[in-house]
Amino acid sequence: MKKITIKDIARELNISTSTVSRALRDSYEIGAETKKRVLELAQQLDYTPDPVALSLLNSHSNDIGVIVPDIANPFFATVIAGIEDVAFAQGYHVVIYQSHDSYEREVLNVKHIFNRRKDGLLVSVAANTHDYSHFKDLHDAGFPLVFFDRICEEIDTHKVSVDDFEGAYNAAEHLIQQGCRSIAHISGPQNLLISRRRLHGYRAALMDYKIPINEDLILASDFDAEHSLLLTRRLLQGNIKIDGICASANSIAIGCHAAIVEAGLSMPQDIALIGFSDLPLAGLFNPPLSTVSQPAFEMGRSAAKLLINLIKKPEDNKMLISNVLKTSLIVRKSSLRNG
Amino acid sequence: MKKITIKDIARELNISTSTVSRALRDSYEIGAETKKRVLELAQQLDYTPDPVALSLLNSHSNDIGVIVPDIANPFFATVIAGIEDVAFAQGYHVVIYQSHDSYEREVLNVKHIFNRRKDGLLVSVAANTHDYSHFKDLHDAGFPLVFFDRICEEIDTHKVSVDDFEGAYNAAEHLIQQGCRSIAHISGPQNLLISRRRLHGYRAALMDYKIPINEDLILASDFDAEHSLLLTRRLLQGNIKIDGICASANSIAIGCHAAIVEAGLSMPQDIALIGFSDLPLAGLFNPPLSTVSQPAFEMGRSAAKLLINLIKKPEDNKMLISNVLKTSLIVRKSSLRNG
DNA sequence: GTGAAAGCGCTAACAT
DNA sequence: ATGTTAGCGCTTTCAC
């Protein structure tokens, strides 16, 4: 595992490094004989060009960066699998960054990505990010950038998301159809577009079914089961009787689930619950958790395709694409009153 | 977000690049006045040294690589969080690689890490890896290397693991104490040391309690809930009645859990189940799943500390450390017959 | 058809 | 105290 360079090959063959370089790149101006000798020796020595040297030279790395809030979230882990699926096939390596929902970490990550000459960036923004100038700067510098899931509207680039409005609408409608009339919505951080869109979907469904909206039943939680547990606990102890909860994320749904069980209420008879963004293990819960499922793998694939196209043919991307994927309702026992 | 180089600073100040370089590194041989002007301008221009150029020069990158089978596995996601915790504090960036339990991917990952001049590697080996020469080559080349969880015995370097034998022993003992007498062990791939050690722990517990070991109750599953589901289903349909299952991993336990529920058997009355490696959501299962919990975060921290020490002071590492962490039994309803 | 030289951004001998 | 030069590994003019 010693580092072999073109110098080693040149010395061995008594030719110059430029000849070696050209032979390796199969240049037309190199004699067939020389070419053959170089290629054979390179093969034999297991030569691979030094990516760092190439990077310094060309300002690219064949790496694409991905920033997600947290890889432990199964949704993001699956999106990343989708990204890797297409990136790997195209010869790119995916470098994963976690923001842990911190603005400061996100800014550091962006700098790292820029400085290390990553070829492009896929990002789902941190919950604590209110200022998008780090992304704006990148984008203005011509750096290929694609948002997914937690997208940033203010920056004109490709985006991949799901129809959050429709997903949340369907979830609320489903609870209504199960007979719920006092439905709470535990939302995510309101600065995130996905949270606001999901909330709008909930409101729209209630309005369409002529159910009065009670603002006291609309809460904003962090994407954190502990916080959601606290909020739900307080909600259940309050004096408004509720019979259904729409949770705006899986982490939030987990907190709700725990709070309902803890309160000794039965699901779905006393309170029906539905989450957003499927969990691979939700089916094993007690009771199994209904959710609005998102095509996470496909989202990753789509975002990666858009980014790679942006990297390879920037000129083909005058028209910005906003790919909105469909969600699907997965009804399990936590919300199914008559199954 | 334009790239600022020392050249820009040098030109602006009418001095040479080496002076700038020295001033930036606070060299004693630079005049206080010059130093001040350089520092100020650098600050103002938001100069940061180009890491790629530095990398080419020094053969290091301030990145450490981590190879795990799969980031979607909560255990590995938590280990990575622990690694990042110490690496970040020491100024290292953690680059995550997934082997997806494929030997070929692992080899590619190792090459990438070596070629990109990562400063060191933390690895938990792929289930399909039988040949360790890619690690051996790295290690022989003096590349800092630390194994965690799925360690490789044959290579003489630092290792961090848990006491798999004891954990599995305690799990089996617990089932015995709950009255189980016909206990199956669904193991992981047998080429992995952790699988074999856990199996040994199981055997030892049964022997200590004078329970005859039935080899037909010992199965090897992939780390995959689907596979485990299939095996458990077949086991339950067989003609040997069992009343307890020790699963050798959380993915395996999930398959067992599903199979038992599917068969309409009650947990823990008909069959008591205990897994290995805690899942954050195991407490919400129906019934909640008992497990042998591993200190994943601490494992990551320990491995990262060992690696960084190896990177910074190779000479201090004549004595190899094998850090074996303790597991703890988390008893939940899936195995608690009289609570 | 092949070699010499410059340069990507930076640092460290080697001058002065 | 500061400038000049070489070199990390590679590609690409520019020569011949």
What would the DSSP string read from start to end of A105-122?
HHHHHHHHHHHTT-SEEE
Residue contact A285–B284, C-beta within 8 A: yes
| Fold annotation for B6-49 | 434 Repressor (Amino-terminal Domain) (1.10.260)
- Grade residue A339 by pLDDT with cuts at 50, 70 and 90: low
> Taking an 8 Å Cβ-Cβ cutoff, which residues of chain A contact chain B?
1-2, 48, 50-53, 55-56, 61, 71-72, 74, 77-78, 80-81, 84, 93, 95-96, 98, 111-112, 114-117, 137-138, 140-141, 143, 254, 257-258, 261, 279-281, 284-288
* Cβ-Cβ contacts under 8 Å for A106 (sequence gap 6 or more): A67, A99, A125, A126, A129, A134
- Grade residue B245 by pLDDT with cuts at 50, 70 and 90: very high
Name the nucleotide with the smallest C1'–CA separation from A5: D9
Query: Would you say domain A60-161+296-325 falls under CATH 2.60.40.1180?
Result: no
The shortest C-alpha distance from A18 to chain B (Å) reads 19
Which two tokens mark B100? 């997806």
Beta-strand relationship, B145-148 and B93-98: unpaired
Of A1, A74, A284, the CB nearest to B141: A1
Name the nucleotide with the smallest C1'–CA separation from A34: C1
Cβ of B34 < 7 Å from strand D? Answer: yes
According to the model, what pLDDT value does residue B339 have?
65
Contacts of B48 in chain A (CB under 8 A): 111, 115
- Grade residue A258 by pLDDT with cuts at 50, 70 and 90: very high
Nearest CA in chain B to A97: B95
Which protein residue lies nearest to nucleotide D7, measured between its Cα and the C1' atom? B57
Query: What value does the mean pLDDT take over residues B67-95?
Result: 96
Residue contact A48–B111, C-beta within 8 A: yes
Characterize A36-49 residue by residue with b for buried, 16 or more Cβ atoms within 10 angstroms of its Cβ, and e for exposed.
Answer: ebbbebbeeeebee
| Fold matches, A6-49 and A164-294 | no
Domain ranges of chain B: 6-49, 60-161+296-325, 164-294
User: CATH code for A164-294?
Assistant: 3.40.50.2300
Cβ of A117 < 7 Å from strand D? Answer: no
CA-closest candidate to residue B120, choices B318, B321, B307: B307
According to the model, what pLDDT value does residue A61 have?
95
According to the model, what pLDDT value does residue B284 have?
87
Query: What value does the mean pLDDT take over residues A125-152?
Result: 96
The model's pLDDT over B310-323, given as tens digits with 9 standing for 90+, comes to: 999 988 888 999 99
Tell me, in Å, how far CA of B44 is from C1' of C15?
32
Main-chain phi, psi angles of B182, to 5 degrees: -125, 85
